[in-house]
Amino acid sequence: MSATAKTRIVGASVPRKEGIDKLVGRAVYVDDIEREGMWYGTTVRSTIPRGRIRSITCDPRIDWSEFTVVTAANVPGKNHIQLIVADQPCLADGAVNHCDEPIVLLAHADKHKLREAAAAVRIEYEPLPAVLSIEESERQDPIIWGDDNVFKSFLLEKGNVDGVWAQAAHIVEGEYRTGAQEHLYIENNGMIAEWSANDGLTVWGSLQCPYYVHKTLKAVFDLPDEKVRVIQTETGGAFGGKEDYPSTLASHAGLLAMKSGHTIKMVYDRMEDLAATTKRHPSRIRHRTALDKDGKLLAMEIDLATDGGAYSTLSSTVLSRATLHSCGPYVCPNIRVRSRAWATNMVPYGAFRGFGAPQAIFATERHMDEIAAQIGIDPVELRRRNFLHQGDQNATEQLMREPVMLDELLDRALAQSDYYARRERFTRENANSPVKRGLGLATFYHGSGFTGSGELYLNSLAGIDVTADNKVRVMVSNTEFGQGTNTILTQIAAEALGLAFSDISMAPPDTAVIPNSGPTVASRTSMVVGRLIQRASLQLLETLRNDGGLGANASRDEFFAACDRYRTAHGEVKSLCRYEAPPGIFWDDKTYHGEAYGAYAWAVYVAQVAVDTRDYSAEVEEFWTVQEVGRVLHPVMAKGQIEGGVAQGIGYALYERVVWQNGRMANNQMTNYIMPTAADVPPIHVIFEEIPFKFGGYGAKGIGELPHDGPAPAILNAIRDATGVSFNSIPLLPEDIFAVLAAREIQEEPAIK
Amino acid sequence: MSECFPSITMRVNGESCTVNVPPMKRLLDVLREDLHLTGAKEGCGEGECGSCSVRLDGELVNSCLIPVLQAQGAEIQTVEGLAANGVLHPLQECFLACGGAQCGICTPGMLMAAAQLLERNPNPSMAEIREGLAGNLCRCTGFMRIFESVLAAATQMQSPEADKAGHAR
């Protein structure tokens, strides 16, 4: 397939599949659902980061007979959320390991009675020393998880790092830190649960991964597959924040439903959602890099640490992706990456768009500019000298089989941003201005799909069916939460089947209907699941030709007539396909070598930033993105993905600070956790180059996470360009800039003018 | 219980409605729970996110901050009242065409803010659009597609054929 392969629907910006419902206010989100006789639930949470629970007492001034009260003792099955390691209790049992850990659940018919009742549940603790940072966890005193406080560690080695330092022309070291980041989806977490002795448990909710929730509910309620049903409601943003947490909330709503006999709704308010649910893992990343006299990388030694919070959740896989992205899109013969995810008594961290890559890439790309400054090479030139090309091997010795066009992406980004002319102008203007402008760039790649053998392990099953009333339905467990799953998969099915976009609908996101095509994460939907839908559609046509009398170049009517004939003969018209790895893929989980990802998306981002030395504000004034993401299936939505990711990345860099007080989020309100608004985001330019990936849905690679990787390093590199000062930690707020620039002014006198 | 509360009458999307609810009940809850208009959403409950935005007597308000007694006798417009006689408002059409809605949760409020802006200023500059929408948070789009949607709608509403569906004001 070439970039210009003729398609009717793929590549066209058709209207969003569920768009009209969202625009007229008809789309049904979980909080929009009311049921006759429904009760409401709430959660009583820990107020200390670590301790034993001495007692739980209910104040007698409340008439508790009106309420349903649930504790860990009411869990019929395993009291654990089933993720990678089942270490996180569904409800705390005897001990708490972080603030806002759920301990007691309450339900009542009147939701207005819940707040007072929750305050009347008294929990007495025997506090224990808490571990609240990576450094405290590294001391391994106290041990709070396993034998060593380490959730997971990786060692990625290539060549011989130790033999290089002595001959290196340059050795550059740096330490980089990234903070927690809140997803701030505008729809808070919410779930409705219904219990019946016959049918088991059904939940409706805001979630990304129906089968993740299904797996946890089976364990918590000790039920077989068919007695648990998970239905996704319209989901108002997720960004990874509804990957694992909905399993906990669904368990809670289910426990209250089972005990009370009523349908239960639990919808968090913003303060609870911010305080109690997952955030992006904070990181501390140290680089030591050897280069030859020409600025070619000789060795990269990287020590990467993340704060995982109190339970392991997804920390091991986040760490894996951070590790695999930590060496950047560069050729380097000698590499050692040692990475560890540390247990602390912080609220567990979880998935967030980019999944460890933004942390790793922040450090690498910030470090590249530090190298450039220290050895006296232009940061553009330093990168260009070290880029991966087709035929090279990356850190895991994965051969770059597909074309790599980093040089072209860089050229285009420089041209679009008028990079050199602008820098020259800023250098001139900055000398006499209190506002210092600069340009910074980041060059990076992002692996699409699950890491290493992950996609094989997922063993995804997806496809299409044609119902008795001749509706063609896409059958996937991959959900829509704004990123365009419904539209993209509909386009692919319509294209492959030769039908119209309007002929295709999405089967309901209901585990009683859909197969398990894996979670909606890791930029895998278009590439991996899209490919399955393409294959399943072609397979259906083949079947109908062989066994339904479908002729070549059949019309729409002939297609449905063939479906009718096939249905009469065989009962149902359904075509499912299972994931097959592209040929020649090898991955060794033990040595962390081989094909880390099926494909990479590549990008070069440029930020223009103005730092005002009077009020110490840093403002992104313009942003350029050039990327290669395989075939662009829907240009308008693809642009929307990039722009949205860049805006979140700008927030990550310059706005969004979680303020912690003894392990508890102190600024858990939109009033004081600040994200960029319409007035803050700069013009964002989006340019795509397309190299179709033959194993992706109509040539697509992953796109969703890529745009969160580049903004933070590009912005902080631009601030260095503007001010000459290296800031190596995000978020970088005016007070942080003040602390450094003001100190420098005092030292240097006269002050910067 | 309802008979204990005073009647509050307002016109919502052109229809007269009377509710008997506590006078301090939030307008947002009255719309969603009593009138079953669930288009307006609660994102923060403190007037920061704008996803509960509705128009009250021609002003854009956060309905999570308005006690319903303040709406007595008022003209309220919610997202459900934006399409007229089943015909999408130009803003809705343009949000659909330009990718202005992704997850959709901010969309009802964003549309009301955009409608308010275009009514006051039919030909806004980019800076005016940014300011006009600055009280409505969107976490998906990075706002670029929304700006483009509003600009496109402004153009469409000013074209000579715009008054066909009775939308141009």
Q: Which domain CATH number covers A505?
A: 3.30.365.10
Six token digits for residue A281? 């893992």
In a domain, B15, yes or no: yes
Residue A131: the pLDDT is: 98
- The pLDDT tens digits of the residues spanning A208-219 come to 999 999 999 999
Which whole number is the average pLDDT over A575-581? 96
Same domain, A511 and A574: yes
What is the identity of the amino acid at B128?
E
Same domain, A373 and A399: yes
Q: How crowded is the C-beta side of A514, counted as CA atoms within 13 Å?
A: 27
- The total domain count for chain A is 3
CA nearest to A238 within chain B: B103
Which whole number is the average pLDDT over A484-497? 98
Residues in chain A closer than 8 A to B137 (CB atoms): 184, 186, 670, 675, 677
3-state DSSP: chain A helix, strand, coil percent, rounded to 5?
35, 25, 40
A270–B45 C-beta distance less than 8 A: yes
| Average model confidence (pLDDT) across chain B | 94
Q: Is-contact A88 A101, C-beta < 8 A?
A: no
Partnered with residue A475 across adjacent β-strands are A463
How confident is residue A78, by pLDDT bands cut at 50, 70 and 90? very high
Which whole number is the average pLDDT over B74-101? 97
Same domain, A597 and A725: yes
Which whole number is the average pLDDT over A4-32? 95
Q: Which of A215, A234, A267 is the last residue of a domain?
A: A267
The Cα-based distances of A282 to A98, A161, A657 in angstroms read 16, 27, 11
Q: What percent of chain A has pLDDT over 70?
A: 99
- The total domain count for chain B is 2
In a domain, A172, yes or no: no
Distance between CA atoms of residues A746 and B79, nearest Å: 55
A636–B99 C-beta distance less than 8 A: yes
The Cα-based distances of B38 to A25, A481, B31, B33, B139 in angstroms read 7, 18, 7, 8, 20
Residue A584: the pLDDT is: 80
Q: Residue B138 is part of which domain span? A: 90-161
Six token digits for residue A719? 């601030």
52-71 in B: which are within 8 Å (CB) of A? Answer: none
A644–B103 C-beta distance less than 8 A: no
3-state DSSP: chain B helix, strand, coil percent, rounded to 5?
45, 15, 40
Same domain, B27 and B68: yes
How confident is residue A14, by pLDDT bands cut at 50, 70 and 90? very high
DSSP characters over A640-684? HHHHHHHHHHHHHHHT----EETTEES--STTTS----TTTPPPE
User: A571 vs A743, which has greater pLDDT?
Assistant: A571
Same domain, A680 and A696: yes
Residues in chain A closer than 8 A to B83 (CB atoms): 24
How confident is residue B159, by pLDDT bands cut at 50, 70 and 90? confident
Residue B169: the pLDDT is: 38
Same domain, A424 and A481: no
Same domain, A216 and A240: yes
Residue A748: the pLDDT is: 66
In a domain, A585, yes or no: no
Distance between CA atoms of residues A219 and A83, nearest Å: 11
* Contact status of B87 with chain A (Cβ, < 8 Å): no
How are strands ordered across the β-sheet holding A461-466? Answer: A504-506, A472-475, A461-466, A573-578
Same domain, A441 and A565: no
Q: Residue A616 is part of which domain span? A: 283-451+592-748
Which whole number is the average pLDDT over A162-176? 97
Residue A645: the pLDDT is: 98
How confident is residue A745, by pLDDT bands cut at 50, 70 and 90? confident
Residues in chain A closer than 8 A to B104 (CB atoms): 18, 21-23, 27, 234, 236, 482
Residue A453: the pLDDT is: 87
Neighbours of A385 (CB within 10 A): 16
- The pLDDT tens digits of the residues spanning A386-428 come to 999 999 999 999 999 999 999 999 999 999 999 999 999 999 9
Residues in chain A closer than 8 A to B144 (CB atoms): 639-640, 643, 681, 683-684
Residue A579: the pLDDT is: 96
Radius of gyration for chain A, computed over Cα atoms and rounded to the nearest angstrom: 27
How confident is residue A746, by pLDDT bands cut at 50, 70 and 90? confident
Q: Residue B107 sits in a domain of what CATH number?
A: 1.10.150.120
Which whole number is the average pLDDT over A270-297? 98
Q: How near does any CA of chain B get to the CA of A523, in Å?
A: 15
Distance between CA atoms of residues A384 and A392, nearest Å: 14
Whether the pLDDT of residue A750 is over 90: the answer is no
Same domain, A469 and A572: yes
Please state the ipTM of this predicted complex.
Answer: 0.97
Backbone angles phi, psi at A260, to 5 degrees: -85, -25
How confident is residue B1, by pLDDT bands cut at 50, 70 and 90? very low
Same domain, A539 and A687: no
Estimate the crossing angle of helix A245-260 against helix A210-221, to 10 degrees: 40
Residue A743: the pLDDT is: 87
In a domain, A201, yes or no: yes
The Cα-based distances of A663 to A9, A240, A348, A359, A699 in angstroms read 50, 22, 11, 21, 45
CA nearest to B141 within chain A: A644
Q: Say which residue the tokens 């990550």 belong to.
A: A652
Residue A2: the pLDDT is: 44
Distance between CA atoms of residues A666 and A685, nearest Å: 36
Whether the pLDDT of residue A700 is over 50: the answer is yes
Distance between CA atoms of residues A33 and B36, nearest Å: 10
- The pLDDT tens digits of the residues spanning A667-685 come to 999 999 999 999 999 999 9
- The pLDDT tens digits of the residues spanning A20-33 come to 999 999 999 999 99
| Average model confidence (pLDDT) across chain A | 96
Give me the residue from A20, A24, A238 closest to B80, CB to CB: A24
Radius of gyration for chain B, computed over Cα atoms and rounded to the nearest angstrom: 16
Q: Which of B50, B81, B112 is the last residue of a domain?
A: B81
In a domain, A54, yes or no: yes
Q: How crowded is the C-beta side of B52, counted as CA atoms within 13 Å?
A: 22
Same domain, A605 and A574: no
* Contact status of B131 with chain A (Cβ, < 8 Å): yes
Q: How near does any CA of chain A get to the CA of B11, in Å?
A: 18
